[in-house]
Amino acid sequence: MLSVGTSTVRTCAGITRREVLQVGGLSALGLSLPTLYGSEARASQSPSVNRKSEISCIFLWLDGGPSQFETFDPKPGAKDDIRGPYGALSTSVPGLQISELMPQMAPLMDQCALIRSMTHSFDSHSPHIMMTGFRDKTTSHGAVVTNLKPSDGDMPPYVHLGSRLVVGGGNLGAGYDPVEVRDPTGNKLELPQFSLSANIKAERFAQRRELLAAIDRMRADAHTSAGARKLDGFYQRAINMLTSETVRQAFDLSREAPRLRDRYGANFFGQSCLMARRLVEAGTRFVQIKWYEGPAWDAWDTHGADLAGLVRLEQHLCPRLDQGLSALITDLRQRGLLDTTLVVACGEFGRTPKINKLGGRDHWPPCQSVFLAGGGVPGGTVVGQSDPDGAYPVDRAVSPLEFAATLYKLLGIDLNLDPRVRPYLGSAAAVPELA
């Protein structure tokens, strides 16, 4: 964090040269100066970055692996030990059914899309394969988007809500890690990343001519006037982010009406969805939400080994997802933000077709469902089909890299003309039915 007023050797502005040059505080915002400088410069040199396409993304990470059967791919005609105890609901899309545990989402499916044939072979509780496209890489989709589609304004471009994940900036560097907010549910969220120490007020800090003079002295060491002007601009943007009232207000859920907060759900996931809407509305480009943590019964890992298996889906997992997701889609649409906000929900894999002897379902990478809405996704679309037992794709199998390509294309990255995206895609192409 950029600290002010704590060192004994200072400029006349009360800020040390080291603090002026230090990028640790900027890194906490997902914007270290070197990486921001490099990404912005590269983007400005590449005609393939479509700056007219200002699509944001809310990525809902359903940690633990949600069951496709009890969410978006029920099998009402299968045998009891495959179908499970729950039925299917008709939706606003003729012929499309989803689980009866998702009743609030059923009338909204004409605004949403599903991939029912996502497949891979990575049987591990890890976000790698679905959040990077690779088993062994840690550069997340959010980091790639932040790099290739740099945003304007004071808001941090990449925010993570929930406990830390093992993916982030990866090979792009710590400057592309997200701003982390462990728990957004408090009435008055404290954000140490955006605070200034000692008794220096934000207004005074922003107006300090001595600070700008210090930057000017550093700028004099640069080799080109164009590069120096760019460097000055990046420092000023970082300062603006640290002192912006807009930033602090965007993270303050207490500014929302209690009735709307209740609509999202009085739980971590629901309130995180509400905060994600506030962030993209204020200008954040990529927000990801991790589904809970802590006790096993709060996650989607419904083996049934030491807990009630599928009963947890009925009691709180699906109701919370149904309430929070439906509120988010409705709220975005009513505010005119759904067309410019891509909402994605998925976990690391699906669940086994056959219910185990403990009344739960085990890990099943060969087939899972992925939810998408907004951001130009054609509503009512269903990509692929699983077999009658929900075990394997029988039509249009989709790989994690194709999913990544689809996400990047929907967010305005040109997969054909921008070579910078290829290390994160290989030769994969976007799913044409979606992007």
pLDDT, tens digit, 9 for 90 and up, residues 266-292:
999 999 999 999 999 999 999 999 998
pLDDT above 70 covers a percentage of the chain that reads 73
Whole-structure pTM over 0.95, yes or no?
no
| 306: phi then psi, degrees, rounded to nearest 5 | -125, 10
Cα–Cα separations (whole angstroms), residue 141 to 118, 360, 418: 17, 31, 16
Has residue 132 been placed in a domain?
yes
Chain centroid offset of residue 351 CA? 23
Has residue 359 been placed in a domain?
yes
The model's pLDDT over 41-81, given as tens digits with 9 standing for 90+, comes to 444 444 343 434 589 999 999 999 999 999 999 999 999 99
The model's pLDDT over 290-336, given as tens digits with 9 standing for 90+, comes to 998 656 667 899 998 766 789 999 999 999 999 999 999 999 999 99
Instruction: Report the distance separating Cα 345 and Cα 324, nearest Å.
Output: 12
Q: β-pairing, 385-386 with 393-395?
A: antiparallel
Tokens describing residue 409: 């294309």
Cα–Cα separations (whole angstroms), residue 189 to 156, 250, 307, 361: 16, 10, 33, 37
Has residue 21 been placed in a domain?
no
Instruction: Report the distance separating Cα 322 and Cα 236, nearest Å.
Output: 42
Which residue segment(s) compose the domain that 383 sits in?
54-189+257-424
Would you place residue 32 in the very low, low, confident or very high pLDDT band (cuts 50, 70, 90)?
A: very low
Instruction: Report the distance separating Cα 16 and Cα 206, nearest Å.
Output: 16
Q: What is the pLDDT at residue 15?
A: 40
Q: What is the pLDDT at residue 337?
A: 98
State how many domains the chain has.
Answer: 1
Has residue 242 been placed in a domain?
no
Has residue 218 been placed in a domain?
no
Q: What is the CATH number of the domain that holds 126?
A: 3.40.720.10
Q: Which residues of 288-299 are buried (b: 16+ CB within 10 A; e: fewer)?
A: bbbbbeeeeebb
The helix (run of H) or strand (run of E) holding residue 152 is none
Q: What is the pLDDT at residue 183?
A: 87
Model confidence at 180: pLDDT above 50: yes
Has residue 127 been placed in a domain?
yes
Model confidence at 366: pLDDT above 50: yes
Has residue 102 been placed in a domain?
yes
Has residue 217 been placed in a domain?
no
Instruction: Report the distance separating Cα 359 and Cα 361, nearest Å.
Output: 7
